[in-house]
Amino acid sequence: MIKKVFLTFVIISSLTSFAQRGQKIGYVDMEYILENIPEYAQAQIQLDQKVNKWKGTLDQLKSEIETMRADLSNEKALLTEDLISEREEDIYLKEVDLKNLESAYFSSKGSLFKFRKQLVKPIQDKVYNAAQQLGKSRGYDIIFDKSSDVIMIYTNKKADISELVLKSIKRTEKTETAKEKRAERNKKTPTKELSEEAQKKVDERDAKRQETLDKSAKLKTDKLKKREEQKAEIERKRLERQKKREEVRNKLKENKKNSEDEKKENN
C-alpha cells in the first residue's frame, strides 16, 4: 500500500510538472478496450473451457482417491499388513499425482498462466501498439493505463483516449484483412514454372521436412509403446494384488468355516 501511494505521488508530481510545461497527457482504460474487442471475448471462452476441463480431470482424480480410501477402510480387516501397506502406498502415490497435476495446471508458471499469456498477450500487444502510434501521431507526451495499480485520484474524460485506441485497432485489422485477401488472390494467380535450381531447393526442403516428420512419428510411436508397456505392467501388478486379496479372503473364510465346524463337533 505504501509503495502504491508513493508511486501515485511520484506520478501526480510528474503529471503536474508536465502540465505546467503545457505537455499533452492521456490515459486508456485497458479493461474497457479488451471488453470491446471480439478476439478477447473468444480468448476468454477458450480459457474458461480449458480451466473447466482441467478441473474435471482433478475432480476425477480426487474421486478415485476417495474410492481407494473407502475400499481400504472396508477391506482392512481382511488384509495382511503387507497388503495394507501396499494399498496405502498406492493412495499416497495417487495423492502425489493430484498435487503435481494441480501445480502443473494452476501454479504461477503452470499451464493456465502460459495459456492465458498465449491467448491474451497478442491482443494486449495490439492495444499497446495502437496507443504508441496514437501517442506519436497526436503528440501525446504520456499515456498510461487506468486499469493498472496506479491510483487515479481524478481523471478528466477529455484525457481518455480509449475510443481512439479502439478505432485505431479496428482500422489496423481492416487493413490487415485487406492485405490477406490480396495475398489470397495473388496465390490463385498462375505463376511461372520454377527454375531447376529453385526446384532443387524446394525438393531438398520437402525432403528435410519429411525426414523431420518421420522422426517425430517414430518418437511418438516409441513413446506410445512405452506407455502401453507401463500400463500393462501396472495392470499386471493390480491383478497380482487382486489375486492376493482373493487368496486372503478365501483363507479367512476357510478358517472361519473350520472354526465353526470344530465348534459343532465339540457340541
Q: Quickly list DSSP for 51-100.
A: HHHHHHHHHHHHHHHHHHHHHHHHHGGGS-HHHHHHHHHHHHHHHHHHHH
Residue 239 lies inside a defined structural domain of this protein: no
User: 162: how many CB neighbours lie within 10 A of its CB?
Assistant: 19
pLDDT of 161 over the 60 cut: yes
Which is more confidently placed, 31 or 83?
Answer: 83
Residue 99 lies inside a defined structural domain of this protein: yes
pLDDT at 11: 47
**What domain range includes position 12?**
2-176
Burial pattern 234-267, b for ≥16 Cβ within 10 A else e, equals eeeeeeeeeeebeeeeeeeeeeeeeeeeeeeeee
Average pLDDT over residues 104-124: 87
Dist CA 101 CA 115 (whole Å): 16
pLDDT at 30: 80
Residue 139: phi and psi, rounded to 5, are 75, 30
Average pLDDT over residues 136-157: 69
pLDDT of 254 over the 90 cut: no
The 10s digit of each residue's pLDDT in 187-218 is 665 445 557 777 777 778 888 888 888 887 78
Total structural domains within the chain: 1
Residue 67 lies inside a defined structural domain of this protein: yes
pLDDT at 148: 65
Average pLDDT over residues 8-22: 47
Please answer whether residues 65 and 95 qualify as being in contact, where contact means their C-beta atoms are separated by less than 8 angstroms: yes
Which is more confidently placed, 22 or 126?
Answer: 126
Average predicted confidence (pLDDT) for the chain: 79
Question: Mutual orientation of helices 162-188 and 111-138 as an angle, nearest 10°?
Answer: 100
Average pLDDT over residues 139-155: 67
Dist CA 256 CA 237 (whole Å): 28
Please answer whether residues 159 and 25 qualify as being in contact, where contact means their C-beta atoms are separated by less than 8 angstroms: yes
pLDDT at 59: 95
Q: Which residue's C-alpha cell is 508530481?
A: 13
Dist CA 132 CA 138 (whole Å): 10
pLDDT at 183: 74
Q: Is the pTM of this model over 0.85?
A: no
Residue 147 lies inside a defined structural domain of this protein: yes
Residue 117 lies inside a defined structural domain of this protein: yes
Cβ-based burial of 28 (10 A; exposed 0-12, middle 13-18, buried ≥19) = buried
Residue 35 lies inside a defined structural domain of this protein: yes
127: nearest Cα among 41, 25, 29: 29
